[in-house]
Amino acid sequence: MRTHRTEKNSAGPTRHRNSGPGRLLIAVYGVFALAATARAVFQISTKFAEAPLAYLLTALAAGVYVLATVSLAMPGQRWYWISVGAVGLELVGVLTVGLFSLLDPEAFPNDTVWSLFGRGYGFVPLLLPVLGLWWLYLNRRGRAVEPATERASPTA
């Protein structure tokens, strides 16, 4: 982590947000997209009536993870903003579901990816959108249509 900034600077503006640490981010998002999708399919197909809200939230989480994975991997400004939206929605989702599952455990059985801030998944669901938004913030200028002078600033 410590050195990626120098790497990025030395490589110049050719680097994309799906490069370097971004590849790891996309890989982890991919794993969560897979896990949440499999879980949503399993829950909805076998026991939907038990907790419809929790299982629909799992399905929503799955969709958000898939969108985040794809949009982070795709080049271009439009995909950049889609990934900001997807990762932002993920952060809102994990905070909202985490808070409500803490305040009202009865309404949220421990059955979604985002329950208790993602405790069942080692709190990675809470960490991931923070790192994701930070990464997108670091990479904002590489894709933005801004004056060239803006890019000359040494610190990203």
Partner 1 sequence: MIVDGFFIAGVIVCLASAVICFGAAAIRQPPNDVTILSIAAVELFLLVYGVAAIIRQAGGEAIAGEAWEFWGYLLTALCIPLAGFWWAILERSRWSNVVLGAVGITVFVMLFRMEQIWDRVPL
Contact flags string 95-114 toward partner 1, x per CB under 8 A: --------------------
Single out the segment in contact with partner 1 by CB under 8 A; choices: 20-28, 75-83, 92-100, 141-149: 20-28
**What's 150's DSSP letter?**
H
Q: Can you tell me which residue has the tokens 């370097």?
A: 20
Is residue 30 near partner 1 by the rule CB under 8 A? yes
Q: Enumerate the H helices of 104-144 as residue ranges.
A: 124-138, 140-143
Separation of alpha carbons 58 and 105, rounded Å: 16
Is residue 31 near partner 1 by the rule CB under 8 A? yes
Separation of alpha carbons 70 and 153, rounded Å: 30
Q: Which is nearer to partner 1, 39 or 143 (CB)?
A: 39
Single out the segment in contact with partner 1 by CB under 8 A; choices: 25-33, 84-92, 108-116, 142-150: 25-33
In whole angstroms, the minimum distance from the beta carbon of 150 to partner 1 comes to 26
In whole angstroms, the minimum distance from the beta carbon of 49 to partner 1 comes to 19
Amino acid at 52: P
Q: From the list 13, 38, 107, 146, which residue makes contact with partner 1 (rule: CB under 8 A)?
A: 38
Separation of alpha carbons 112 and 64, rounded Å: 14
Q: Which is nearer to partner 1, 122 or 154 (CB)?
A: 122
> Which residues, in sequence order, are CB contacts of 111 under 8 Å at separation 6+?
43, 51, 54, 55, 58
In whole angstroms, the minimum distance from the beta carbon of 143 to partner 1 comes to 18
In whole angstroms, the minimum distance from the beta carbon of 146 to partner 1 comes to 26
DSSP string, 32-72: HHHHHHHHHHHHHHHHGGG-HHHHHHHHHHHHHHHHHHHHH
Which spans of this chain sit near partner 1 (rule: CB under 8 A)? 3-4, 7, 19-24, 26-28, 30-31, 34, 38, 42
